[in-house]
Amino acid sequence: MAEAQTDGLEVLETREWVDSLDYVLSKGGPERAGRLLQQLSLHARREAGVNLPFTATTPYQNTIPTAQQPPFPGSQEMERRIKSLVRWNALAMVVRANKKQEGIGGHISTFASSATLYEVAFNHFFRAQTPDGDRDIVYFQGHATPGMYSRAYLEGRFPKEKLQNFRRELAEGGGLSSYPHPWLMPDFWEFPTVSMGLGPLQAIYHARFIRYLENRGLKQAKDGRVWAFMGDGEMDEPESLGSITLASREKLDNLIFVINCNLQRLDGPVRGNGKIIQELEAIFRGAGWNVIKVIWGSDWDNLIRNDRDGLLVRRLGEVTDGQYQKFFVESGAYFRQNLFGTDPRLLKMVEHLSDDQLSRMRLGGHDPLKVHAAYRAAVDHKGAPTVILAKTIKGYGLGEAGEGKNITHQQKKLNEEELRTFRSRFGIPIPDEGLHDAPFYRPPDDSPEIQYMKERRKSLGGFMPQRKVRSKPINPPNAAHFEEFDKGTEGREVSTTMVFVRLLAKLLRDPEIGKLIVPIIPDEARTFGMEALFRQVGIYSSVGQLYEPVDMATLLYYKEAKDGQILEEGITEAGSMSSFIAAGTAYANHGINTIPFFIYYSMFGFQRIGDLIWAAGDMRCRGFLVGGTAGRTTLAGEGLQHQDGHSHVLALSVPNLRAYDPAFAYEIAVIIRDGIKRMYVDQESIFYYLTVTNEPLPMPAMPEGKEVCDGILKGMYRFKASEKKDAKLRAQLFGSGTIMYEVMKAGEILEEKYGVACDIWSVTSYKELYRDGNDCDRWNMLHPTETPKVPYVTHLLKDTPGVLVAASDNMKVLPESISRWMPRNLVALGTDGFGRSEGRAQLRDFFEVDAKHIVLATLHALLREKQIKPEVVKQAVKDLGINPEKANPAIS
Ligand SMILES: Cc1ncc(C[n+]2csc(CCOP(=O)(O)OP(=O)(O)O)c2C)c(N)n1
Ligand SMILES: [Mg+2]
């Protein structure tokens, strides 16, 4: 009895306080009320030590109260009809594709849950062009493509045939790619997002790069926004959340994340035993984002308004996501009993609603009014990025065919009954008898729906998505920048990294292209000897430099500036690569020919962020990836987690990437000069990977002959022909990177001690040679009666005598990949195996790529050709000081 009384008193007391607060709210507005609450909390803490429990979350309700919802600017009814048409054709596209070809795949449920999120944005927010000439950038969720294709079809951008060929791009007339791939649909898609996590990460760096362009005066219009749509399951990818503090630190209010919280991923619930919306709210709030939760639809407005004691919202906050999923697939009676049945007061709140009404209570993410309000608030928000957490149902509208069920992600077939239900639910005018093969449906051009859609897009600057190259080609850069390197260093020892940095510094000073260069470094500038650039061009900082740098008095002080040119990303290769992509695709996205140079530890490139490099290829990204401190034996001391001898093997996999392992200064100059020309003058969709090393070596002058330049680019040229024209024993030695110097040394030993005349070849790119050889083979196979094409390697080695020996600081498989186009067997030396913490000489001995092992390999090859005797080789093993019983580096 006493308990009940206290309870009753408390209720009364609470009500009084709430009434008072309501009064303050009505008189002074939310800001005044907020201040008052803060004062109260301060007071309670000071006077009585009341410690309010820390909470990173807000109650489980919409962030924007109904009273603050702006009026909907369009025709809700018309937009509902349009959305239904988009839904239908998206579904039909997937169902038809799977009828035609079992197992071709496709996703219905992702878009079914996010249709409202997209439609409101398409009709009111996504601006293909802003009034000041800027544009919005949109990262569409990869699995939602059917919705985008369906809309484009209704807009009249695709004929029906294209939709028929969804996921059948090789069909006659072409088709539509499964997911967003600019490589496959270069006029449509801009961002490949389907490798989950890469979209959110890139969106953040893109939004920041836009600010960089603006702060550096390269981009005038400033009104564009970056929108990124993603799944709630996708947020488990470390890339999704890994850089969110960059966005808040940089105050990127041009960035909006929309997370479709359908509570499910592929196998089942995202957080069956928890609440993904609350979890994400805490994370984003903690990171300083503006968080807008869109949980309940308008159907819930009255219930929540009348929930004066917060009983309902508390109950809504208790239920787990797994349980919500069950509520959504169950009947209204079940919903009533299990959600509201825990308290008679809750049951009373819904007694005026029938079971049927209860089961149809819409969620926030399916309600255009709520979604519109959230978008409006997001675009108006200043000083921080916004994330919208929208609660939806996966497979919304599919009913028995999958709505809210665990299997729904994979659902791609509907039987006739299910099609009929869907058709009726969304009012698509297709008669029962026509439903069998899920026909597409598009009202005539002059129908109100099509007119409305088109008018909306027109007022927002045009159709989206749409990819366009917005820049003009640049003029070729001044030849003098590059030609300096032709003469070599006249005996002075420099590393190829130093050569590269010197060239970069010159390019940065160029009056035409200098400003377009974007050096990107993940905290390794000093390792690469690039600190001189700090002072020369400054490090980008959106706020300038708010402190006096500790090394201010030195010449090369750490200079941060608002118009700084270097992107010092900190220790994030993934973030740096995202900046690289933003800069390397600005020629299309923003009409600005920025030329990124991303310089990093080569070990932490392909194997760490290979997926982003692959995405860059898909996006037709331009620029130079520069793998520093490369070479398994050239990077001394660092051991097996640093020493890279396989990035060039991984680079083989990216089709439009040109990969080079240069040995000499002039090779670097020739490659970069040609790269800028091909990418920015000729506008080719390629990008570059260059390894540079930190071993100081004397750089030779470029040999005479037109074929040298050509060879450098094609992957190989003869650096030096032997002067011993009459020698009987002969060898062709191939070297790359720093190991080229071991090859040259081996050549001298072989000539002097063993009477073997050696021609020395520089192989700058096994990848290019491999590509060319395959290309020729393929052509020859397809054209058996025509004069066969001759692979470049075959052509070069046509009349060369002797054994063939290649050595590089990479795995043996690289030279071996081209051996079949050589006139005789190739012996390949390389650095297969785990590295060691050791000095260069020891490492090269260990991996058997030093001069003595090259000599031995050459002699052994001559033995195999029966040109010398085994005893000669045995003696050589001894003379060279090689231990024949040493461990095999490949497996030790
Ligand atoms: C990196 C990566 N891993 C796995 C997948 C395979 N996959 C595709 S969709 C999906 C579930 C997506 O769930 P969610 O992000 O919640 O999106 P929803 O479809 O629910 O909107 C998975 C695991 C992928 N596309 N990318
Ligand atoms: Mg999901």
Q: How far is the CA of 195 from the centre of ligand 1 (A)?
A: 8
Residue nearest to atom 13 of ligand 1 (CA): 265
Measured N-to-C along each axis, helices 665-676 and 706-714 cross at an angle, to the nearest 10 degrees, of 70
Residue 580 CA from chain centroid, whole number: 10
Which of these ranges, 399-413, 462-476, 607-621, 685-699, has the smallest mean pLDDT?
399-413
Q: CA-CA distance, 281 to 203, in Å (whole number)?
A: 19
The ligand 1 atom nearest the CA atom of 230: 15
Task: State the Cα–Cα distance between residues 762 and 744, nearest whole angstrom.
Answer: 10
* d(CA 589, ligand 1 centre) in Å: 26
- The yes-or-no verdict on residue 6 having pLDDT over 70 is no
Q: What is the DSSP letter of 263?
A: S
The SS3 call for residue 271 is coil
DSSP 232: T
Question: Tens of pLDDT along 315-328?
Answer: 999 999 999 999 99
pLDDT tens digits, 793-832: 999 999 999 999 999 999 999 999 999 999 999 999 999 9
Q: Are 543 and 562 in contact (CB under 8 A)?
A: yes
Query: Which has the closest alpha carbon to 62: 326, 388, 536, 518?
Result: 388
pLDDT in tens, 262-299: 999 999 999 999 999 999 999 999 999 999 999 999 99
Ligand in closest contact with the CA of 230 = 1
Say if residues 669 and 485 touch (Cβ distance below 8 Å): yes
Q: Whole-angstrom distance between the N-terminal and C-terminal Cα of the chain?
A: 79
Q: What is the pLDDT of residue 707?
A: 95
Angle between helical axes of 145-154 and 109-124 (0-180°, round to 10) = 50
At 192-245, the pLDDT tens digits run 999 999 999 999 999 999 999 999 999 998 999 999 999 999 999 999 999 999
Angstrom distances, CA of residue 780 to CA of 27, 771, 790: 84, 14, 9
**Taking a C-beta distance cutoff of 8 angstroms, is the pair 261, 277 a contact?**
yes
Which of 755, 715, 758, 764 lies closest to 854, judged by CA?
Answer: 758
User: Looking at the predicted structure, is the pLDDT value of residue 1 above 60?
Assistant: no
Residue 639: helix, strand or coil by DSSP?
coil
Joined tokens for residue 629: 């401190």
Nearest ligand to the CA of 114 is 1
What share of the chain has pLDDT > 90, as a percent?
92
| Any ligand 1 atom below 6 A from CB of 194 | yes
Which ligand sits closest to the CA of 198?
1
pLDDT tens digit string along 418-451? 999 999 999 999 999 999 989 999 999 999 999 9
d(CA 835, CA 13) in angstroms, rounded, equals: 72
Pocket test for ligand 1, best of 266, 366, 408 (most atoms within 8 A of CB): 266
Q: Which atom of ligand 1 is nearest to the CA of 198?
A: 1
Q: Is the CB of 260 under 6 A from ligand 1?
A: yes
Let me know: does 525 contact 568? Beta carbons within 8 Å.
yes
Residue in the structure block whose two tokens are 């390794």 = 524
Identify any residues that bridge with 664 across adjacent strands, giving them in sequence order: none
**Ligand 1 geometric centre to CA of 331 (Å):** 29
For residue 565, pLDDT over 50 is answered with yes
Q: How far is the CA of 194 from the centre of ligand 1 (A)?
A: 8
Across 872-888, average pLDDT: 97
Mutation test residue for ligand 1: of 94, 140, 196, 389, the one with most atoms within 8 Å of CB: 196
Q: Residue 4's pLDDT is what?
A: 45
Q: If you measure from the C-alpha of residue 142 to the centroid of ligand 1, how many angstroms do you get, rounded to a whole number? A: 9
Q: What is the pLDDT of residues 36-51, one digit of tens each?
A: 999 999 899 898 999 8
CA–CA gap between residue 345 and residue 348 (Å, rounded): 5
Three state DSSP letters for 487-546: HCCCCCEECHHHHHHHHHHHHHHCCCCHHHEEEEECCCCCCCCCHHHHHHHCEECCCCCC
Q: Is 215 in the pocket of ligand 1 (CB under 6 A)?
A: no
Nearest Cα residue to 829 out of 717, 716, 735, 697 = 735
Cβ neighbours of residue 126 under 8 Å, at least 6 residues apart?
136, 138, 227, 460, 464
**Phi and psi for 557 in degrees, rounded to 5?**
-70, 160
Taking residue 648's Cβ as centre, other Cβ atoms within 10 Å add up to 28
The 3-state DSSP class for residue 716 equals strand
Average pLDDT over residues 746-774: 98
Q: How many residues does the chain have?
A: 892
Angstrom distances, CA of residue 121 to CA of 125, 380, 633: 5, 15, 54
Distance CA 389, CA 278 (A): 9
Q: Is residue 765 within 6 Å of ligand 1 at its C-beta?
A: no
Taking each helix axis from N to C terminus, what angle separates 416-425 and 76-100, rounded to the nearest 10 degrees? Answer: 170
- Measured in angstroms, how far is the CA atom of residue 315 from the centroid of ligand 1? 30
Instruction: Check residue 2 and give its pLDDT.
Output: 40
Centre of ligand 2 from the C-alpha of residue 394, in Å = 7
How far is residue 316's CA from residue 313's CA, in Å, rounded to a whole number?
5
Does 52 have pLDDT greater than 90?
no
CA of 325 to the centre of ligand 1 (A): 18
- Cα within 13 Å of Cα(633), Cβ side: 29
- 629 C-alpha to center of ligand 2: Å? 41
Which atom of ligand 1 lies at the shortest distance from residue 235's CA? Answer: 15
Q: Give pLDDT, residue 236.
A: 98
Q: Which atom of ligand 1 is nearest to the CA of 266?
A: 11
In Å, how far are 332, 346, 478 from 339, measured between CA atoms? 10, 9, 73
Please indicate whether residue 231, judged by its CB atom, sits closer than 6 Å to ligand 1. Answer: yes
Residue type, 300: W
Q: Which atom of ligand 1 is the closest one to the Cα of 394?
A: 20
Query: Is residue 595 a contact partner of residue 676, using CB atoms and an 8 Å limit?
Result: yes
* Ligand 1 pocket, residue 62 CB under 6 Å: no
CA-closest residue to ligand 1 atom 23: 266
Give the residue from 835, 797, 788, 798 showing the smallest Cα distance to 815.
797
Query: Which atom of ligand 1 is least distant from the CA of 141?
Result: 21
Atom of ligand 1 nearest to the CA of 611: 1
The 3-state DSSP class for residue 230 equals strand
The one-letter amino acid at 710: D
Residue having the nearest C-alpha atom to atom 22 of ligand 1: 266
C-alpha–C-alpha distance, residues 604 and 607, integer Å:
6
Q: What is the CA(263)–ligand 2 centre distance, in A?
A: 5
Indicate whether residue 589 lines ligand 1 (CB < 6 A). no
Q: How far is the CA of 236 from the centre of ligand 1 (A)?
A: 10
Q: Which atom of ligand 1 is nearest to the CA of 260?
A: 21
For residue 627, how far is its CA from the centre of ligand 2 (angstroms)?
Answer: 37
Say which ligand is closest to the CA of 147: 1
Q: What is the pLDDT of residues 109-142, one digit of tens each?
A: 999 999 999 999 999 999 999 999 999 999 999 9
pLDDT at 872 over 70: yes
d(CA 708, CA 702): 8
Check pocket membership of 266 for ligand 1, CB cut-off 6 A: yes
Provide mean pLDDT across the span 52-71.
92
CA nearest neighbour of 551 among 537, 563, 534, 567? 534
Q: Which two tokens stand for residue 179?
A: 């997911």
* Alpha carbon of 10 to ligand 2 centroid (Å): 41
Cα angle 585, 591, 595; round to 5: 50
408 CB within 6 A, ligand 1:
no
